[in-house]
Amino acid sequence: MTPPTGSLPTASTAGSGLRTDVRVTRVDAVPFSIPYRKPLRFASGEVHAADHVLVRVHTDAGVVGIAEAPPRPFTYGETQASIVAVVDQLLGPALVGRSLHDRNALRAAMHRTVGNPTAKAAVDMAVWDALGRCLGLTVTAMLGGGAGRPLRVCHMLGFDDPAVMVAEAGRMLADHGVDTFKVKVGRRPLELDVAVVRALRAEFGPGIDLYVDGNRGWTASESLRALRLMEDLDLSFAEELCPADDVLDRRRLVRRSTIPVLADESATTPAEVTRELLSGAADAVSIKTARTGFTVSRVVLDLCDGLGVEVVVGNQVDGQLGTSCSAAFAAAHPLTAARAAELSNFLDMSDDLLTESLRIEQGHLVLPVGPGVGVVVDEEKLEHYRRDR
């Protein structure tokens, strides 16, 4: 008895005081490569260059929204070339002609393609950026976060000798006031990593916040042993120490750990978050806009809010554009701004695409100011670093 939608009565919007609609005309994906000054090494891989993709959403208002897609093949199965292909061939065509105001429809349209989280997230964020530019609003304000909350920064320390990692932490503290560190662990013998964490705590005392990230490098038993050896080191979180697909072992680890276990690459969609939390495979969740964009990151956040678990805003080894996106999201919500967010990886890159560099001062990211995500691409730099010409 339901009539076809096309025949439903609708009211005209003429003279209603409503803004004109804005629609997607084109989505493009530009691969670029910027070398790292210092490679980042961790249990599941290492990064020597930012072989990322700039995603641009063009609109019929003439405004262009931007975002950055950092491929991580060993976590999501995406490469720079696959992201370009998926945006060009699937996501872009699915969005052309659609309204920026109907982001829920854009999400559904992109969801028809399975996987490819980083490609989808970048398109989603570029849509929000474009809309913010049209409206003269920051993404943070669009997310209900007003002018944004101050964001403490957590710095990630990749594999190295204890003395080198302590020196890097010391520089971050002295130069940027950063006092929260995520230490990459998961090596064998695990005493290598325990020695690093112990050296950090010995050097900086109780004034710094420390957590560890195993990137699935250990077994559950090794993880429990490592946690036991670090019991006196006051860790805040233990992230992905062992694989989530070690199903029973992972639950045993979580049940017996006195440190809250943070799910990252095991909880990349709302359904995965539900599965991992409800099966007892995690205590808290890392949110990365690089893989869930703004639209789905908020679903994950609301899910964690409703389930009553903590979140950390993580880093997919983002460049400055990606970091700006993470920050726009993190600054909008009390729950995400409650803890230091992982926003400093860009410091190890030799350059970036933006006209103005992000800054970390007094331990906090200085939030970009401007509509959308708040940053602008330097066209000359893009010409220099792009790899498609």
Span 112-131, contacts to its own copies by CB under 8 A:
none
Residue 285's beta-bridge partner residues? 263, 311
- Alpha carbon of residue 254 to chain centroid: 24
Residue 36's beta-bridge partner residues? 349
From 34-42, 85-93, 210-218, 365-373, span contacting its own copies (CB under 8 A): 365-373
**What does the alpha-carbon distance between residue 24 and residue 258 come to, in Å, rounded to a whole number?**
49
3-state DSSP call for residue 53? strand
**Nearest Cα to Cα of residue 227 among 267, 237, 41, 157:** 237
x/- string (CB under 8 A) for its own copies, residues 294-313? -x--xxxxxx-xxxx-----
Q: Rule CB under 8 A: say whether 147 interacts with its own copies.
A: yes
Closer by beta carbon to its own copies, 147 or else 163: 147
> Catalytic: which of 68, 209, 316, 352?
316
**Nearest Cα to Cα of residue 313 among 297, 295, 292, 336:** 336
x/- string (CB under 8 A) for its own copies, residues 226-265? ----------------------------------------
Cβ at position 45, least distance to its own copies in Å:
29
Residue 218 and residue 190 in contact, taking contact as beta carbons nearer than 8 Å:
yes
Among 94, 139, 282, 332, binds its own copies (CB under 8 A): 332
Location of structure tokens 């503290």: 173
Q: What is the largest CA-CA distance in the chain?
A: 74
Segment 5 to 24, residues that bind its own copies, using CB under 8 A: 5, 7-13, 16-19, 21
Cβ at position 5, least distance to its own copies in Å:
5
Q: Rule CB under 8 A: say whether 189 interacts with its own copies.
A: no
Q: Rule CB under 8 A: say whether 174 interacts with its own copies.
A: no
Residue type, 282: A
- Alpha carbon of residue 108 to chain centroid: 21
Closer by beta carbon to its own copies, 189 or else 207: 207
Among 56, 152, 184, 216, binds its own copies (CB under 8 A): 152
Torsion of Cα atoms, 299 then 301 then 304 then 310, to 10°: 170
Give phi and psi for 56, each to the nearest 5. Answer: -125, 125
Residue 181 and residue 153 in contact, taking contact as beta carbons nearer than 8 Å:
no
From 112-120, 146-154, 159-167, 245-253, span contacting its own copies (CB under 8 A): 146-154
The count of residues interacting with its own copies (CB under 8 A) is: 71
> Catalytic: which of 184, 320, 342, 352?
184
3-state DSSP call for residue 188? coil
Residue type, 43: A
Cβ at position 46, least distance to its own copies in Å:
30
Closer by beta carbon to its own copies, 189 or else 308: 308
Q: Rule CB under 8 A: say whether 388 interacts with its own copies.
A: no
- Residues taking part in catalysis: 184, 213, 239, 264, 288, 316
